[in-house]
Chain A
Amino acid sequence: MMSNPTGRLTQGQFSFLPDLSDAEIGLQIDHGLRQGHAWSVEYTDDPHPRNTYWEMFGMPMFDLRDAAGVMLELQACRQAFPNHYIRLLAFDATRGVESIAMCFIVNRPAREPGFMLERQELQGRSLRYTTRGYAVQRPEGRRYGD
């Protein structure tokens, strides 16, 4: 278990709250849809803080205006990858933004092994830091015991 106060990965908008129920996730999706955003589902078993590109579970749902449809995609992803990290992202295509407007984790492995910090001693007292996920020592798809 990770040693931070939540005991888990703290990426995303709501990692410090109790897991959102499906009904609560639906309300967040509705909010994004009201803002005109497009939702997308992504999953990974390498949640390194600088791993930008999680795997896309299908395309962003640009034409889907109904939270239930997004929830169906999420259920399918959970079924395919029950022990991966899964996040929902909302894309905002407004000029001057054109980026992600919301992002939160909706599925986690049962045990979150976290990361180790490697320190390489350099000249003087300088150090070079490398963050390495404990789970990525194992092959893709078998990192959280499945």
Chain B
Amino acid sequence: MSETGRTQITDAKKRYSAGVLQYRQMGYWMPDYQPRDTDILCLFRITPQDGVDPEEAAAAVAGESSTATWTVVWTDRLTACDSYRAKAYRVEPVPHQPGQYFAWVAYDLILFEEGSIANMTASLIGNVFSFKPLKAARLEDIRIPVAYVKTFKGPPTGLVVERERLDKFGRPLLGATTKPKLGLSGRNYGRVIYEGLKGGLDFMKDDENINSQPFMHWRDRFLYVMDGVNKAQAVTGEIKGSYLNITAGTMEAMYERAEFARDLGSVVVMVDLVVGWTAIQSMAEWCRRNDMLMHMHRAGHGTYTRQKNHGVSFRVIAKWLRLAGCDHLHAGTAVGKLEGDPLTVQGYYHICRDSHTRTDLSRGLFFDMDWADTRKVMPVASGGIHAGQMHQLLHLFGDDVILQFGGGTIGHPQGIQAGAVANRVALESMVKARNEGRDIVNEGPAILRQAARHCGPLQAALETWGEISFNYQSTDSSDFAPTPSAAV
């Protein structure tokens, strides 16, 4: 291609004559562009079709996620179109991944409606992901400027106020998902809640697909669960909660369920990610009005976050969810049964809890981002973790996390209460040891064995699960880190 075809056509008459131009020629590739502090910056990983130049592909992404259509339109000239065009300003090959490129794109603030994740996503991950000149595209990271951050209310409660409300400080919180997921009657379900909370857990949890099925209508569940919660609160003297899943077919039904949960005294309600951005923001508003924690289960995220070459990284979803407003967010375990490379997962935790996120390529964080004092989200580690991993979990995630041991509580050989005791004793022992200055990463197993000497349930838990680990290669790790998947 001639050098003139590679850059923006500045002669307006040529630029706007009818026909089809390269996106670069239309002004979507500006290698000299200096991003402004108020721009939204996106990093896409793109895989151009064979024969498509990476800069043209990057320009096409910028074009299709902002003002462009496939042909020149004269009506552009009625507008200040230079500012509405997104600008691809940098393209680099992805290390170790032939055919893939990182493309940085800047968007002017005027392109987005204040306080609307739906609007932001309709642009950034709208048409562009089906665009034919790309084999695949993934939104890897996003820098949302302070000016836009301040238009969102963020978490209804935030992790600092949550701790004050629950009167729980200086240690991770403990939870468990009620199992089996499906089939328990309301009465049987409430039994699991009571046993787990009385045994020492802070929270129990509905599963993502527990809504209102024939075996357990939602009102039955809420009534029995709250009986368990209140009774456990009385026998321990400690605030307890159970995430009541209010996900339903309509907003009206969700509000009805939320109000019933509030009237029964629940401190928390739960929403599944699949309800969509607008529903999430609406429920966050409701939670703010009703002093309620909002637990977010990221059900369905794997359909677009897991594959490295296409979709949206979970770090971007986490940023959107923090702005949209949730108090708890499932963000991975690193050591459990579900997907997640430890550094990448730590990157998600940063996004949930940072005041100011710093660039950290090994954790997949490509931008500095000031959260402008947006309240912090409590990350949730759930899925295939057990008491024997307590030292690893505390080391990886620190205090501000909810550790959820579902199978690791309910599957305990001596019963649910014993399972809860094992987890709580393991947790408190590890926090105590860490505060005393001990090296919990290396001494962890010994600390647990020592604690088990005065705690039969922990002894039994270590004997049952002590050796269980899920050492599979991660499908989603940073290409800048020396991880197995990068060393192809």
Contacts and interface: CB of A to CB of B under 8 A. Distances in A.
Interface of A: 2-6, 9-11, 13-18, 20, 24, 27-28, 31, 47-50, 52, 89-90, 95-104, 114-117, 125-129, 131
A5 B199 contact: yes
Nearest to A96: B355
A126 B238 contact: no
Interface stretch (B61-69, B138-146, B160-168): B160-168
Contacts, number: 125
Contacts of A97: 160
Given A13-B171, A49-B239, A95-B355, A28 B198 contact: no
A49 to B, nearest CB: 5
Nearest to A26: B436
Contact of B200 (A16, A27, A90, A99): A16
Interface in B337-379: 355, 373, 376
Given A96-B376, A104-B170, A5 B432 contact: no
Interface residues of B, number: 42
Interface of B: 160, 163-164, 167, 169-171, 198-200, 223, 226-227, 230-231, 233-239, 263-265, 355, 373, 376, 417-418, 421, 424-425, 428-429, 431-432, 435-437, 451, 454
Chain B, interface SS category: helix
A42 to B, nearest CB: 12
Contact of B428 (A16, A49, A96): A16
Given A13-B428, A27-B436, A2 B235 contact: yes
Given A5-B200, A10-B200, A13-B428, A114 B263 contact: no
B169 A103 contact: yes
Given A16-B428, A17-B429, A116-B234, 13 more contacts: A4-B198, A5-B417, A9-B238, A10-B237, A11-B237, A17-B428, A49-B237, A99-B169, A117-B234, A127-B264, A128-B265, A129-B265, A131-B230
B238 A49 contact: yes
A16 B435 contact: no
26 contacts: A2-B236, A5-B200, A5-B421, A10-B238, A11-B237, A13-B169, A16-B421, A16-B424, A17-B429, A27-B437, A28-B436, A31-B435, A48-B237, A49-B239, A52-B167, A99-B164, A100-B163, A100-B170, A102-B170, A103-B170, A115-B234, A117-B234, A125-B223, A127-B223, A129-B230, A129-B265
B410 to A, nearest CB: 16
Given A13-B171, A17-B428, A31-B437, A126 B237 contact: no
A127 B225 CA distance: 12
Contact of B435 (A27, A48, A115): A27
A9 B170 contact: no
A16 B163 CA distance: 19
Residue among B234, B238, B418 with the most chain A CB within 10 A? B234
A74 to B, nearest CB: 17
A10 B428 contact: no
**What are the 9 tightest A-B residue pairs by CB atom distance, in nearest-first order?**
A102-B170, A117-B234, A31-B435, A129-B230, A9-B237, A103-B169, A115-B234, A27-B436, A96-B355
A48 B432 CA distance: 25
Contacts of A131: 230, 233-234
Contacts of A98: 160
Nearest to A132: B234
A21 B301 CA distance: 47
Nearest to A128: B265
A100 B169 contact: yes
Contacts of A2: 235-237
Contacts of B170: 13, 90, 100-104
Contacts of B231: 117
Given A13-B171, A95-B355, A96-B373, A49 B164 contact: no
Contacts of B238: 9-11, 49
A52 to B, nearest CB: 7
Given A95-B355, A129-B230, A13 B237 contact: no
A14 B428 contact: yes
Contacts of B425: 16-17
Contacts of A99: 160, 163-164, 169
B234 A9 contact: no
Contacts of B373: 95-96
Contacts of B167: 11, 49-50, 52, 103
A47 B236 CA distance: 11
A11 B428 CA distance: 12
A13 B431 contact: yes
Contacts of A101: 169-170
Contacts of B417: 5
Nearest to B232: A4
Residue among A48, A49, A50 with the most chain B CB within 10 A? A49
